[in-house]
Every structure is written in structure tokens, then in C-alpha cells.
Structure 1
Amino acid sequence: MDKGKSVMGSGRRWAIEFTDNSTSHSSRDIPDPPGFTRASQDQDDSAVSKQKKDAEANWKSQKAWEVAQAPVKNLFMMAFMMWMAGSTVHLFSIGITFSALLQPLNALRGVGKVFEPFKDNRVDLLTPKLVYILLNLAGLGLGIWKLNTLGLLPTNVSDWVSSLPPAQEVEYSGGGIPL
């Protein structure tokens, strides 16, 4: 292109003059290019957005199930740690047992927060929440079982002797009279 020549004067085939100052033209007056219709674009956009929403709902559902099944890993690890701690009462076994009790309790208390990122009208969260709750209840049961194994739960009659009333005396022995 030579210097000093205008764009329109250069003889280009696809040149557009932007110096039209008339306000009578609007974007509606300009015809759509061949093969383009606004209705098809709207339909394509709605189909693409629907596909995106469906993909997002599927992803949220999949992630919700992953979160719901996460306590299974914790169950096996905690069971192994309890087995390694033994059945005698000492600091390590008590610490592991109370950890096994507190983790499921905290998880059960925060079920709503755990599944908050996956909240959507198209995603069913009831079943993953129930699975999550059941697995955490199984973990809680494992901790209670370990408490019983350690003998820290009052399950025998002898554990409640202090709360029983004293037995009534049936006989009295006073000894003999000294001579």
C-alpha cells in the first residue's frame, strides 16, 4: 500500500467506510451474513448452555458421591489403628479411641457444610447425604466397640454397684460373752 492513499481509494474489495455520520442506520438495518440467522444462534446458545448445565450437574453429582464415600477410607484406617493399639488401657489406645469417636461426631455435625458446594436443583443430594451419615455412624459404632473392648463402658452389673442401695442385714453376729 502506498503512503498517502486512503483505504477506500486503494481499491480493496473488502473495505468498509466508517465515516458515515448518519444516525438513521441501526444494527437492525444491516442484514445478517449468508448462512447466519439469529434464531439458530439463540437455539445453539440454549442447547450449549443446557449441555453445560447438564455437565455441571453430572459433575456435582459425581463429586457429591465421592465426598459421601470418603469415610470408608477413614473407617479402614481407624480400624487398623485401633487393632494396633491393643486392648489394654493406656494413653495411646485411649487417644485413638476418642479420636475415632470425635471424627464421626464432627462429620455428622457438619453434613450441611460438606455438601453445600454441590447444592443444585438438578442434583439429588439426599442419597449421598444418607450414605455419608451411615458411614460416619459406622465409624462412631467402631469407636464405641473399642470403648467396650477397653472396658471403659459400664456394661456389667458390677459397674453399677455404687449406685445400688446397701444390702439389708439378714443376720447379726455379735460374738460371745467373755467370762
Structure 2
Amino acid sequence: MEKGKGVMVGRRWAVDFTDNSTTPSSRDIPDPPGFTRASHDQDDSTLSRQKKGAEANWKVQKAWEVAQAPFKNLLMMGFMMWMAGSTVHLFSIGITFSALWQPISALQGVGKVFEPYKDSKVDLLGPKLLFIALNLGGLALGVWKLNTLGLLPTHASDWVSSLSPAQEVEYSGGGIPLH
């Protein structure tokens, strides 16, 4: 536009913002491609409800993933205990106490583990119960390994030194039979 004149000269793209009463209303002008007035005019509460619903679904899904995580640890620990053997030595004792310590510390921190997924729309009871059950299974695996190593006090003579040790039920030996 030239100075002082209301006429546009020399510009290829220009918009005239003058108010002409003969121009059609904004509702008569079609929406540009990719834009719909209906989605723009949609109620904001509906959008926020959909967003909160999607967030709640995501939190439930992640809570179940966290709840199932001890299963992988359970399989790995079981394999390591199997590889350690049933004799009492430093490696087998270390693996066994690690198998006992991990579930105990996980059970103490159940609230912290599921804290990021706490929401009024998210029910965390199922994931928490699964998490607790899998960690109790890991604890049982560690106690079983202690028993196979012979480190659990299972007889009264383990507690009182004046009692005689438990009688062995069976024994095995190789070689030539004695008659």
C-alpha cells in the first residue's frame, strides 16, 4: 500500500481488512482443508475426560508391567541357584542370601514402587497383590535353597547342644556290599 492511500499497489498477496457490509459472514466461508469447526468447538471437558481416561489406562498398564517384573528376577535367581549347586561354599551362600534379600527389600518398598501410578481412577490392588505374591515366591525359593544347603535349623538338636543330632533316615554308599 502506498502511504496515505487506501489502495494496494504492487503486492501480489494482500488482504483487505476494510469492513464491507456486503461481504458474507464468517459462517459462509468454507473451512480450509484439514480444519473442522466442529472439532474446534468441541467441549473442553470432553477432551480432558478423554485425556484423563487415556492416562488412567496407561497407568494401569504400566502398573501391571511393574507387578510382573519380579517374575523375570525369579527365573534368573532360580537358574543361578541351580548353577551354584548344593554344597556349602561362598558362591552358593552369596547367591542364596541375595535371593533372600531382594524380595525382602522389594516387599518393604511396595508403596514406593507403585507411587507413580497412584490415581483415583486407577485400581492398584491387583498389581500390588501380584507383586507381593511373586516376591513371596522369590523368598520361598531362597528359603528352599537354605534348606537344601542344610543351613536351616530343622531339628531340636540344632537349637540345644545337649540333644543328640537327628538320625539319618537313609544313607548311600558305593563299592562292594559287605555280608
Measure, in 2, the Cα distance between the counterparts of 1:135 and 1:154: 25
2:69 is aligned with 1:70: yes
Instruction: Decide which of 4, 15, 18 is 2:17's aligned counterpart.
Output: 15
Conservation of the 8 A alpha-carbon contact between 1:7 and 1:15: no
Q: Residue type matched to 1:152 in 2?
A: L
Conservation of the 8 A alpha-carbon contact between 1:108 and 1:136: yes
Measure, in 2, the Cα distance between the counterparts of 1:72 and 1:85: 20
| Displaced runs of 4 or more, over 4 A | none
The corresponding residue for 1:46 is 45
Cα 1:46/1:161, change in 2 over 3 Å: same
Cα 1:34/1:97, change in 2 over 3 Å: same
Q: Residue type matched to 1:64 in 2?
A: A
Cα 1:8/1:125, change in 2 over 3 Å: farther
Measure, in 2, the Cα distance between the counterparts of 1:116 and 1:13: 55
Measure, in 2, the Cα distance between the counterparts of 1:89 and 1:7: 101
Superposed CA RMSD in Å reads 2.7
Q: Which ranges in structure 2 are unaligned for 5 or more consecutive residues?
A: 20-24, 29-35, 164-179
Specify the SS of the correspondent of 2:80. helix
Measure, in 1, the Cα distance between the counterparts of 2:4 and 2:85: 92
Give the Å deviation of 1:52.
Answer: 0.9
The corresponding residue for 1:175 is none
Q: Which ranges in structure 1 are unaligned for 5 or more consecutive residues?
A: 18-31, 165-179
Give the Å deviation of 1:56.
Answer: 0.5
Cα 1:163/1:71, change in 2 over 3 Å: farther
Structure whose alpha-carbon radius of gyration is higher: 1
Q: Residue type matched to 2:122 in 1?
A: V
The corresponding residue for 1:94 is 93
Q: Percent identity?
A: 67
Give the Å deviation of 1:158.
Answer: 3.0
2:27 is aligned with 1:34: yes
Give the Å deviation of 1:10.
Answer: 2.3
Measure, in 2, the Cα distance between the counterparts of 1:144 and 1:115: 27
The corresponding residue for 1:153 is 152
Give the Å deviation of 1:14.
Answer: 3.5
Conservation of the 8 A alpha-carbon contact between 1:82 and 1:97: yes
Cα 1:106/1:9, change in 2 over 3 Å: same
TM-score (norm 1): 0.72
Alignment of 1:86-165 (within 5 A): 86-162=85-161
